[in-house]
Amino acid sequence: MTTTEPAETERTRLRRMRHKGSHQRAALDAVLAAGFVCHLGVLVDETPMVLPTTYGVVGDTLYVHGSVASRSLVQAQGTTVCVTVTHVDGLVLARSIFEHSVNYRSAMIYSVPRAVTDPKEKLGALRALTEQCLPGQWEYGRQPSRKELAATTLLALDLNEASVKTRSGPPDDGDSPDAALGLWAGVLPVTPMWGTPVPDPLLSPRVGMPAHVLTRAGTPVDRTSHGSSR
């Protein structure tokens, strides 16, 4: 599938720490591939609301979904929204409090969402959302009925106006006068991991755990090489 490079616009031009930024599609794809939760910033009745929500990606489109009763998803349609995806890779513990920082990968996307009405696109989007969370789950689970599809709002956001920002590496004060203080400094890495699956207490003992769930236990949530190499 061909993809479009996001354009650097006045809005996505990084003002501070420009060297940490990118407008490359590959960088955006890497951040999106590494997670499944985004934050959707939308004006609801003129008040900003930032909603944590899951997402899926198909080509140049990011999908979010929710109930047809969701005020934020209704009011987001036709207005500019801002979506962020954030991965925290470590705490950067410097000598001075001022130089403390976070190692991270983050993406910010501006878009005017379009409501998805075509049932085929809706199903494809739900598949992408499900597979983004846990590959294999879409085929394993019972797929949505027509009634369930009708009760679900799906918004499509194009990825044409986006930026990526990252920080990695040690603290910035290793060669400053504070280095003489003799304080420990460095990075405290963080890697979110999947835990041991907990069966539903109402589950019949005859139902075994599918391989795509079983094999996730003890592995990094970030499936990209960035996450699993640490």
Ligand X SMILES: Cc1cc2nc3c(=O)[nH]c(=O)nc-3n(C[C@H](O)[C@H](O)[C@H](O)COP(=O)(O)OP(=O)(O)OC[C@H]3O[C@@H](n4cnc5c(N)ncnc54)[C@H](O)[C@@H]3O)c2cc1C
Tell me which of 3, 5, 7, 11 binds ligand X, using CB under 6 A: 11
Contact status: 86 vs ligand X (CB under 6 A): yes
Tell me which of 30, 34, 76, 107 binds ligand X, using CB under 6 A: 107
Residues, the chain: 230
Q: Which stretch binds ligand X (CB under 6 A): 100-108, 123-131, 176-184, 213-221?
A: 100-108
Q: Which stretch binds ligand X (CB under 6 A): 11-19, 42-50, 131-139, 185-193?
A: 11-19
Cα–Cα distance for residue pair 29/149, rounded to 1 Å: 27
For residues 40 and 107, which CB has a smaller minimum distance to ligand X in the complex?
107
Q: How many residues bind ligand X (CB under 6 A)?
A: 15
Structure tokens at 120: 């085929």
Do the Cβ atoms of 185 and 107 come closer than 8 Å? no
Do the Cβ atoms of 103 and 29 come closer than 8 Å? no
CA 169-170-171 angle, 5° bins: 130
**At closest approach, how far in Å is the CB of 33 from ligand X?**
16
Cα–Cα distance for residue pair 108/122, rounded to 1 Å: 24
* Contact positions vs ligand X (CB under 6 A): 11-12, 14-16, 86, 88, 102, 104, 106-108, 163-165
